[in-house]
């Protein structure tokens, strides 16, 4: 192979997770892109990194993150949240609209993009929140640069975003051409059952927001989407029952599962973690976690998303149900799942499918999410043997539901478009994250 330009960087001898499997080879990078994959010998390079003994994965794409800026920056902001991403091997983040104010107009989307410029350690895109007032505009706005698509809250969660009236939902599904990311909990049932949430008893959270809340909302939305020819992405699937709905809807609906719904379950999580385990939709009984693992192994799950939703310890210390729902997850996504690889519950190839190939396919991401020629050199180098204990004391919210867990398999360095952004647990370089580009933005 000959190359017109010397490489800016050659990563030598890492075990690379190509789309068709693991191979030990060199990666040559030019102008932030993967320019060569193979045996590069002594090809001229400005920098050579010996990756022998390490695995190289496409940088993770986390399509479900709450960064809290603007308005809630005591919990997190774009700088602190994107730092967690870079350190955790996540090189692209799609951020949710339930900030303050919520991202419901083109101007507010533009504001987020400018807030991110020069402060964000990873590439990023922002969801627009669907409301009764913006449905007719979303058809145009969903195509704007830096927009990940539309997020729909069928049931109310953190913040004020909600759209559950059937006529409006039909209009929304008719209008949007990109895949709509959906939080499926049935608002009417949530309101009817609110009294089941007992004061200072977070273990009643999955009783209040029960299986039927999730099932009912997912069922209704899938039916409407089928009728309207819309495409959905069902976020944080949490019940065995919803999985049965998803299987016949594969042609137009994709699915996300979170690490916490796979790895934590009731009642143990509430006994041990109290309100730190409180999130929407709730962590449920082991029956559901087992079913989610089965779906994942059966290929019914397209993405792992963190639903990174930090709240401060003080906020979480309020007596349930005054305590807010949500937990952070950006910095633990990769080590938690690598630890599952170490335990034999997951193949490394599956991890790559669920955290890079899958999100790229689901959202139509351009030139990211694969180790392939011409793709962005968004890379994470991982040490499958490294053992370390989760410690989130240095993060803005200061905690993680997995604090104190000893995990095997950690990221040791992250590259964003060919630039080092994290090495040995420290940020390096500058926050030069850019908006992610999508196929959907090209549609007429």
Please count the residues of this chain forming the interface with Zn ion, following the rule CB under 5 A. Answer: 1
On the CB side of 383, CA atoms within 13 Å amount to: 12
Q: Which is nearer to Zn ion, 95 or 376 (CB)?
A: 95
Phi, psi of 353 (to 5 degrees): -60, -45
Report 360-419 residues binding ligand DOR (CB under 6 A).
Answer: none
Taking the complex as a whole, the smallest distance from the CB of residue 350 to ligand DOR amounts, in Å, to: 25
Residue that has been written with the tokens 């963190």 in this structure? 306
Please count the residues of this chain forming the interface with ligand DOR, following the rule CB under 6 A. Answer: 11
Pairwise CA distance, residues 261 & 282, whole Å: 8
Taking the complex as a whole, the smallest distance from the CB of residue 77 to ligand DOR amounts, in Å, to: 14
Q: Which is nearer to Zn ion, 92 or 339 (CB)?
A: 92
Which of ligand DOR, Zn ion, none interacts with 63 (beta carbon under 5 to 8 A by kind)? none
Residue from 276, 221, 255 nearest 64 by CA: 255
Contact yes or no for 302/253 (Cβ under 8 A): no
275 CB neighbour count, 10 Å cutoff: 24
Residue from 300, 322, 164 nearest 234 by CA: 300
Q: Which residue is nearest to ligand DOR (CB)?
A: 326
Taking the complex as a whole, the smallest distance from the CB of residue 95 to ligand DOR amounts, in Å, to: 11
Which of Zn ion, ligand DOR, none interacts with 76 (beta carbon under 5 to 8 A by kind)? none
Which of 112, 124, 183, 417 touches ligand DOR (CB under 6 A)?
A: 183
Residue 280 found at the interface with ligand DOR (CB under 6 A)? yes
Report 138-167 residues binding ligand DOR (CB under 6 A).
Answer: 157-158
Residues 301-330 vs Zn ion: string with x where CB under 5 A? ------x-----------------------
- Number of helices followed by number of strands (H, E) in the chain: 15, 17
Q: Which is nearer to ligand DOR, 157 or 340 (CB)?
A: 157
Positions marked active-site? 307
Report 288-347 residues binding ligand DOR (CB under 6 A).
Answer: 309, 324-326
Report 18-37 residues binding Zn ion (CB under 5 A).
Answer: none
**Distance set, CA 349 to CA 23, 56, 297, 372, 386 (Å):** 12, 11, 12, 15, 19
Q: Which is nearer to Zn ion, 302 or 307 (CB)?
A: 307
Residue 279 found at the interface with ligand DOR (CB under 6 A)? yes
Taking the complex as a whole, the smallest distance from the CB of residue 306 to ligand DOR amounts, in Å, to: 11
Pairwise CA distance, residues 107 & 396, whole Å: 28
Q: Strand, helix or coil at 344?
A: coil
Contact yes or no for 43/4 (Cβ under 8 A): no
Q: Which is nearer to ligand DOR, 217 or 309 (CB)?
A: 309
Taking the complex as a whole, the smallest distance from the CB of residue 308 to ligand DOR amounts, in Å, to: 9
Q: Which is nearer to ligand DOR, 9 or 401 (CB)?
A: 401
Beta strands per DSSP E along 107-227: 123-129, 147-153, 180-183
Which of ligand DOR, Zn ion, none interacts with 157 (beta carbon under 5 to 8 A by kind)? ligand DOR
> Which stretch of DSSP H or E encloses residue 78?
helix 78-87
Strand partners, 355: none
| 354 DSSP assignment | I
Taking the complex as a whole, the smallest distance from the CB of residue 153 to ligand DOR amounts, in Å, to: 7
220-224-226-228 Cα dihedral, nearest 10 degrees: -170
Residue 218 found at the interface with ligand DOR (CB under 6 A)? no
| 353 DSSP assignment | I
Pairwise CA distance, residues 194 & 205, whole Å: 9
Pairwise CA distance, residues 325 & 222, whole Å: 25
Q: Which is nearer to ligand DOR, 40 or 96 (CB)?
A: 96
Say if strands 9-18 and 55-58 run parallel, antiparallel, or are unpaired.
Answer: parallel
Pairwise CA distance, residues 421 & 423, whole Å: 7
Strand partners, 94: 125
Residues 252-291 vs Zn ion: string with x where CB under 5 A? ----------------------------------------
Which of ligand DOR, Zn ion, none interacts with 325 (beta carbon under 5 to 8 A by kind)? ligand DOR
> Which stretch of DSSP H or E encloses residue 23?
strand 21-30
Residue that has been written with the tokens 């059937």 in this structure? 166
Q: Which is nearer to ligand DOR, 105 or 312 (CB)?
A: 312
Contact yes or no for 215/243 (Cβ under 8 A): no
Residues 72-91 vs ligand DOR: string with x where CB under 6 A? --------------------
Which of Zn ion, ligand DOR, none interacts with 98 (beta carbon under 5 to 8 A by kind)? ligand DOR
Taking the complex as a whole, the smallest distance from the CB of residue 153 to Zn ion amounts, in Å, to: 9
Taking the complex as a whole, the smallest distance from the CB of residue 96 to Zn ion amounts, in Å, to: 5
Contacts with ligand DOR by CB under 6 A lie at 66, 98, 157-158, 183, 279-280, 309, 324-326
Contacts with Zn ion by CB under 5 A lie at 307
């Amino acid at each position: 192979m000959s190359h017109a330009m010397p490489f800016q960087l050659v990563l030598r001898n890492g075990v690379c997770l190509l789309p068709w499997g693991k191979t030990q080879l060199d990666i040559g990078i030019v102008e932030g892109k993967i320019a060569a994959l193979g045996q590069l010998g002594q090809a001229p390079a400005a920098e050579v990194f010996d990756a022998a003994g390490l695995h190289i994965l496409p940088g993770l794409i986390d399509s479900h993150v709450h960064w809290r800026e603007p308005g809630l920056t005591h919990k997190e902001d774009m700088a602190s949240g994107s730092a967690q991403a870079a350190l955790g091997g996540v090189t692209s983040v799609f951020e949710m609209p339930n900030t303050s104010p919520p991202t419901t107009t083109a101007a507010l989307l533009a504001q987020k993009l400018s807030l991110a410029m020069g402060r964000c350690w990873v590439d990023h895109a922002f969801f627009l929140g669907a409301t009764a007032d913006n449905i007719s505009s979303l058809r145009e706005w969903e195509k704007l640069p830096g927009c990940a698509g539309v997020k729909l809250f069928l049931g109310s969660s953190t913040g004020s975003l909600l759209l559950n009236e059937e006529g409006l939902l039909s209009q929304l599904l008719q209008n949007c051409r990109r895949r709509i990311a959906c939080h499926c909990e049935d608002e009417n049932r949530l309101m009817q059952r609110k009294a089941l949430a007992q004061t200072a008893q977070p273990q009643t959270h999955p009783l209040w927001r029960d299986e039927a809340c999730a099932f009912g909302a997912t069922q209704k939305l899938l039916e409407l989407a089928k009728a309207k020819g819309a495409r959905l992405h069902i976020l944080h699937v949490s019940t065995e029952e919803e999985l049965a709905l998803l299987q016949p809807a594969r042609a137009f609906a994709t699915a996300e599962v979170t690490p916490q719904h796979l790895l934590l379950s009731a009642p143990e999580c509430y006994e041990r973690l109290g309100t730190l385990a409180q999130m929407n939709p709730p962590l449920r009984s082991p029956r559901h976690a087992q079913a989610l693992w089965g779906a994942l192994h059966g290929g019914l799950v397209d993405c792992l998303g963190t639903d990174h939703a930090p709240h401060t310890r003080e906020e979480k210390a309020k007596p349930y149900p005054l305590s807010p729902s949500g937990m952070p997850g950006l910095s633990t996504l990769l080590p938690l799942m690598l630890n599952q690889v170490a335990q034999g519950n997951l193949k490394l190839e599956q991890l790559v499918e669920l955290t890079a190939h899958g999100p790229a396919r689901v959202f139509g991401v351009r030139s990211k999410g694969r180790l392939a020629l011409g793709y962005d050199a968004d890379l994470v180098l991982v040490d499958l043997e490294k053992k370390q204990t989760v410690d989130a004391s240095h993060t803005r919210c200061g905690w993680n539901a997995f604090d104190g867990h000893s995990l095997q398999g950690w990221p040791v360095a992250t590259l964003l478009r060919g630039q080092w952004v994290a090495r040995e647990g420290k940020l390096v370089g500058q926050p030069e994250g850019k908006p992610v580009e999508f196929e959907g933005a090209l549609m007429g």
